[in-house]
Structure formats: structure tokens, C-alpha cells
Structure 1
């Protein structure tokens, strides 16, 4: 599957001319995937250039003062009979220089403050922490290198994906079940390719616990948060995802799971294939067809099956958010995990305002808020990392 997203830090490093050959190739491929990618890059580049212009203007203020000081020193050598005229001229020059400096400084400082206010809440990027069974941890998301598991497996680490290289002969590997953890913080996302070829996109504030090598008659992983799975079919050996109070069993299929502890409901959404979803509480069981979803309410313990537009629940992995008559509180909760901010509601009733729209995951955050403001009766105020919501 083509990777349709790119990190904001990679774009900044492109503007600064610091990309490696591999990153340059990836950036060019991303740029050619659609006109909206080039438009977004150009907007980022203009913002970057404006920041540099502000720095120059601040330097010009200091330069103006140096010129003024030299001028004042020169007045001291003027003959006494001309001093009064020159002093008055100098005073006028001082006033002009001060006014000009104040104007330039005020404009630069004001614009800089506005930019800082906007940029404090920025899109997330590829970022994760790998915790190995022996306790070693690795920060992922920038460098490319290889790791060797004590089981004998090799791991390829890229800026966007962690890949367990295929093992042709498993008999030479340790048969002990060794679990690793991949944790993605708020404001991050990452992808992993497991030893069996299964691909998993892991969303912000999520964690996947998985065996380095699958052994036995089943393949089992454990999820906290949200992820999208493309499971590699392996005969009669099922793939099982444990998440919250549900167990999802598949043979080979594509589906999404959302099971954040802070959310009232857990969701399993089937894109293709077939999955079985079991809940220990209430002994409930569902077999899903493509386009179907199970929503489980954690308070009541009741699960319900329904037909949905799957894109609304899994489009995040392709760099988009799709909302259809979604409550504002739910929308901001989703966005807060990616943009890493807190929300304060001045009016409780605004939580139930409904919004429909398609947002791009790597867009400037203030731009997304303006889109919501234009189509609903709400206002937003950004204060550092807090978004205030009001009528």
C-alpha cells in the first residue's frame, strides 16, 4: 500500500536542504501524489520564510541604532555656533529612527507572537518507542538502522515503519515466545510489519504488544488505543487481537479497532474479509461482513452491530479525518490525540454541536478550526496548548 502521509519535520528539513537521499526520494514521491500535497508544502515553505524575514527585520532595528549613535557622536565635533541647529536636527532624526524602529520591531514581534501561537499546536509526525523484552528501548522516527533480536530475528528500523524481516528457516531461531511493545505517544503515529507479514498502522496514544516470532497454532497481539490491521492469511492459523474487553479473530482481512480507555465506546470496523468479535461480558459474539461495525459501550456492557461508512473510522491511516454528523466533543477528542492539545469548554452545550466534513491530517491546526467555525455556531481561542471553545 502506498504511504500517503509525511511528517512535518521531514518537510521542514526539506526546506532547509537537510534530507538524505532516501528521504528526498520519499518526499518527491509524496509530492507527486496530488496537487494538495504541493499546495501544503508551499504553504509551509512560505511560513518558514516569513519567520526568517522577521529575524532580519529585528537585526535591522539594531543596525539603525548603531547608525544613530555614530551620528550623535559626530555632533560633538560640530562648532559651537552650529551646535544648536545640528542638535535640533539630531533630535528630529532620533524621533524618526525611534518611530521606525518601534514600528518594525512591533510588527515583527506581533507577527512572531501570532506565528508562535499558531505553531504551538502542530500536526503529529512519525514517532514511537520500541521496548524490547530485555528492557532496551529505542526512539523511532528519524534514523534508519538494523537491530538484532536475541531470538535471532533481524529488525529494520525506518523513519516511518518497523519491519521484522521474513525468516526462511524458523527452526534455527529460539522457540521461546518473546514479546516486544511498540508505544506511540500523543502527536504521533507509526507502522509495523510483523514477522508473519501482517501490517499494522498504530495511531496516536496507542500501544501494541506482540511476539517477535509467532509460534503455535494461533497468532495473538494485544492493543491499547487505535490501530488498523492488514492481516496476512496463514492457512488455518488465526490472528487474534485482544483489545479492552473484546477479542477479534481473523484469518486474513483488513479492519480497524479503536479502544481508548478514555472513550465511552470501543469499535471494531471491518473493511474486507471476515472477523469474529467476542465479548466475555454478556457472552456476546458477532461475525462481521465488510462495511459492518461492532460498537461496545463499556459502561453498560452492551455491544451493537451496525452498517457504517468504513472510511469515517479508518481514513486516519491515509492522512484524513472524515466526520459525518459528529459531536464536537468527539471531534476535538480525536484531534487532540494527533495535535496534542487540551480542551476547555466555556459553554457545556457546545459539546453537542454536530459537524460534518473532511479534514486533512497534516493541515495547519488553526486552519482546521476555521473550517469548523465557518460551518457551525462555535468559536475557538488558542492559548498555548489549550483550545477554548465557546458560542
Structure 2
């Protein structure tokens, strides 16, 4: 954003003439005033301090004059609530987009094609005998009952729950989501599992022996039921995660640069897998608030502080980006909206910060990018990014 435009909006704000969207923008800028990018770097230190004080005074006045809205307003500043927000921290500035009020460009090819909706609860359950059940079109109630196994589904949230006769031999089941899908299940031991788009989990109908082991692909969030006598083990292509009872997220998409395990609470041990074998010498213990990352070629596991909100934002119904490049943004959009992405020209070096609701149609998401000076068009189910 140009400095002149920013100061004009600030003046309107101080005279009570700023629109709701302009007010949201200034409030977001208030949280970024220590940054050294965009319009802020065009201002002197005194100009920045003065502008920050004016915005802070306006916020305090509004909260004081309208105490009824105080709780809502406070929540909006934290979540930037009704608006979906993106910030370009390299060259463009901060942009706010209210999807309920802003209409997509009618000249875009999106209007001539089928409307691309966001993902929803859908998955496929594959039983041990190879038979499949589409979970997206099943009604509430029992969907499998045979050989000591009972699988039930709640239609409100698509949750699948396993109950098994422990006297019967366990069999292996798989639940997989397509692009544009997500799903939840509760394993026989009480462990809760959330699957993001294009993900899968392979698991026994009940756990036997000295450990509880599952295999996953894509991105999966776990709330593991505690059982000190039987550790819970998650295996991906490149890592093995061992826990007793905890909450953690695993991102193991093959199109991402690395696999990442993020710990929210409890403790986990992350070890490297090579050709399916555990490399005991390459293992680390995570503490809450940390993430472990590695690639197939890494010789060590890297431990870093984690952005916990970003790690589980998909589970909570939104995307969160923290200085993510356009390709990282579009990979997530591609999986959730079941679209392909094509780039024409030089790929933008801008980085994005912000949040987008996962309930938005793709037209709204693309409008955010367009406001950020990223040119987009829709051809069938392909999003073309032009620079």
C-alpha cells in the first residue's frame, strides 16, 4: 500500500468516515507496527509512532463507547474475524477481504464455469477383504457389523467410531480422504484422529500386543488415548513417532519440502525411517510447542519452535500463513479445493501472512490474491497464476 493512501485512510478513520473494511485494515496494521516492510518503512519513526497512537486511541475509544460490542471487537482483532486476511510482507502491503460483502469480479472466467466449492467431510473406508464404503454418503448409524467388528457413523460431523471384540483377530482397515475431503474417526482404543485432504490412515480394528501402530500419509492430527503399557506409534514414509498419550500433528505430504511433526501437549519421540527401518541414532524427544522436521535425505532431525495455531489451523477450519510463498499457499488451496495450479511467467517472490476461512468458495480466495496483485484465472478446475 502507498504511504499516501495509508495516511488518507488514517485521516478518514480519525474523522469517523472510514469504512468497516478500512478500520479492520488499520487495526491489523496496528499489530504490525514494529515491522520494517511496506508502507511502514516509508514513514519516519515519529510518523509511525503518531499513526500508531492515533489508531490505538481510536480502538480504545470504540471499545469504551460501545461496551456491548467489546467482546466481539476484541475477538475480531485477534482472529480478524469476519474478514479473510492476507498480508504481503515483501512488496505489496496488507490486504483485508470481507467475503460476505465483496463480490467476485464478474469478468473472471470463474463465473462462466462451475462454482468451485470448498472441501467437506468425505472419505473411503477400505476393509480387510478389499471392499470399500463411501463414508460421504452414508447415513447415521452402524455401517459395518461383522466378525466381531462394529463401525458406527454420526451424520452431524461425519465421525466414525470403531468398536471391536478383542477376542477376535484384528484386521487392517484404511480410511482415505480425496483432495477436497476431510474426516474424523475414533479408533478402538479411544484415540481421536482427524484427516486433512488427500490423507490416509491404516490401522487395526483393535490393538493387540505391546504397541499400537498406525501408518499415515498426508496430514493427520492425533489425540492419543493414554496407555503406558502400550505405546502409540505413527509411521510415515520418513519418520516414526512414538507416544504414550498426547496431542500432535503430522504433515507428511510428499509434495512438501519436508515432513513435520508438531507437538501440542505431552511428549513424543521422533525417529528417522530409512527403507522402513528405524534409525535409532537419529531420534529426538519433542517438548510441547516444538516441531521436528526432516526429509528423506536428512541425516539429523531438526527441532524448532512451532507455530501451533498454524499447524492445526486446518483442523479448526481455516488456513494460516506466516510468511509463506505463493507456491506454499497454493498447495494448500489445491488440496482443499481439489484444483490444479499452473504458473505462467515468473513466480512471485512475495510472502503471505494471514488467515482464510476454509468455508469460502474459491472465488473469494482468489479475490484475496487479486487484491494482493497476484493475477489469477480459472480454467475448468485449474487455477492459473500469472505474473
TM-score by length of 2: 0.68
1:209 is displaced (CA, Å) by 0.3
The aligned residue for residue 134 of structure 2 is: 139
Q: Number of aligned pairs? A: 288
The aligned residue for residue 267 of structure 1 is: 260
Determine helix, strand or coil for the equivalent of 2:254.
coil
C-alpha distance in 1 between matches for 2:83 and 2:322: 26
Alignment match of 1:196 (pick from 182, 189, 194): 189
Alignment match of 2:119 (pick from 96, 118, 124): 124
1:308 is displaced (CA, Å) by 1.6
C-alpha distance in 1 between matches for 2:131 and 2:110: 41
The aligned residue for residue 356 of structure 1 is: 353
Name the CA shift for 1:158/1:39 in 2 (closer, same or farther; >3 Å). Answer: farther
The aligned residue for residue 84 of structure 1 is: none
Name the CA shift for 1:369/1:380 in 2 (closer, same or farther; >3 Å). Answer: same
Question: By percentage of residues, which structure has more helix?
Answer: 1
C-alpha distance in 2 between matches for 1:389 and 1:330: 13
C-alpha distance in 1 between matches for 2:309 and 2:124: 28
What pairs up with 1:146-295 in 2 under 5 angstroms? 146-159=142-155, 160-166=157-163, 170=165, 173-174=167-168, 176-281=169-274, 283-295=281-293
Aligned residues of 1:141 and 1:158 also touching (Cα < 8 A): no
Name the CA shift for 1:299/1:366 in 2 (closer, same or farther; >3 Å). Answer: farther
Name the CA shift for 1:207/1:197 in 2 (closer, same or farther; >3 Å). Answer: same
1:134 is displaced (CA, Å) by 1.4
1:368 is displaced (CA, Å) by 1.3
Which structure would you say has the larger RCO, counting Cα contacts within 8 Å and 6 or more residues apart? Answer: 2
Name the CA shift for 1:37/1:196 in 2 (closer, same or farther; >3 Å). Answer: farther
C-alpha distance in 1 between matches for 2:83 and 2:136: 25
Asked which structure has the greater CA Rg, the reply is 1
Name the CA shift for 1:166/1:355 in 2 (closer, same or farther; >3 Å). Answer: same
Name the CA shift for 1:215/1:358 in 2 (closer, same or farther; >3 Å). Answer: same
Name the CA shift for 1:37/1:359 in 2 (closer, same or farther; >3 Å). Answer: closer
The aligned residue for residue 15 of structure 1 is: none
CA RMSD across the alignment:
3.0
Name the CA shift for 1:227/1:114 in 2 (closer, same or farther; >3 Å). Answer: closer
TM-score by length of 1: 0.67
C-alpha distance in 1 between matches for 2:82 and 2:351: 31
1:38 is displaced (CA, Å) by 10
Determine helix, strand or coil for the equivalent of 1:343.
strand
What pairs up with 1:340-351 in 2 under 5 angstroms? 340-350=338-348
C-alpha distance in 1 between matches for 2:224 and 2:343: 40
1:154 is displaced (CA, Å) by 1.1
The aligned residue for residue 373 of structure 1 is: 370
The aligned residue for residue 332 of structure 2 is: 334
Gaps spanning 5+ residues in structure 1: where?
1-33, 48-109
1:382 is displaced (CA, Å) by 1.4
C-alpha distance in 1 between matches for 2:283 and 2:298: 16
Name the CA shift for 1:371/1:114 in 2 (closer, same or farther; >3 Å). Answer: closer
Determine helix, strand or coil for the equivalent of 1:317.
coil
1:379 is displaced (CA, Å) by 1.2
Aligned residues of 1:120 and 1:384 also touching (Cα < 8 A): no
1:150 is displaced (CA, Å) by 3.7
Aligned residues of 2:109 and 2:378 also touching (Cα < 8 A): no
Q: Deviations over 1:192-233 (max 9, x none)?
A: 110011010001111110000111111000001111001010
Aligned residues of 1:228 and 1:255 also touching (Cα < 8 A): yes
Determine helix, strand or coil for the equivalent of 2:364.
helix
C-alpha distance in 2 between matches for 1:299 and 1:379: 36
Determine helix, strand or coil for the equivalent of 2:368.
helix
C-alpha distance in 2 between matches for 1:279 and 1:390: 39
The aligned residue for residue 317 of structure 2 is: 319
Aligned residues of 1:207 and 1:224 also touching (Cα < 8 A): yes
C-alpha distance in 2 between matches for 1:278 and 1:114: 45
Alignment match of 1:384 (pick from 374, 377, 380): 380
1:301 is displaced (CA, Å) by 4.8
Name the CA shift for 1:130/1:116 in 2 (closer, same or farther; >3 Å). Answer: farther
C-alpha distance in 1 between matches for 2:369 and 2:107: 24
C-alpha distance in 1 between matches for 2:250 and 2:331: 17
